[in-house]
């Protein structure tokens, strides 16, 4: 049985609480948007699985089809697509990301999230 990109993506988003499909890795992002989202998650201490779409063309196209969202990065929390860079940035600054993590039972640093908001106020 051949595993399709869609199967791999579904397995990844359902077996990890938080997944970031990005260009590069959490320690070595390869684009500004991926770097910004990974930076937020790293800063507020969220444990997440990073998937480098540059390493696999099937996944790179597959994730866009899977979410019906044209751009990367893409953040998933508990199997649900949350959004890309602009949405995550907005949610971080409005406090919605905190609420989402609270609701879904994802651990993060509230103090660090507050610091981001203070810095960007």
Binding residues: 31
Q: Is 80 helix (H, G, I), strand (E, B) or coil?
A: strand
Residues within the annotated binding site for [2Fe-2S] cluster?
A: 31
């Amino acid at each position: 049985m051949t595993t399709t990109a869609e199967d791999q993506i579904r397995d990844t988003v359902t077996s990890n609480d938080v997944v970031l499909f990005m260009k590069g890795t959490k320690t070595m992002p390869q684009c500004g948007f991926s770097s910004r989202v990974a930076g937020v998650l790293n800063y507020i201490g969220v444990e997440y699985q990073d998937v480098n779409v540059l390493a696999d063309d099937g996944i790179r196209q597959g994730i866009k089809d899977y979410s019906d969202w044209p751009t990367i990065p893409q953040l998933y929390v508990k199997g649900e697509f949350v959004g890309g860079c602009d949405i995550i940035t907005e949610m971080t600054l409005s406090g919605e990301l905190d609420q989402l993590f609270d609701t879904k039972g994802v651990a993060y640093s509230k103090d660090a999230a507050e610091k981001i908001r203070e810095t960007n106020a």
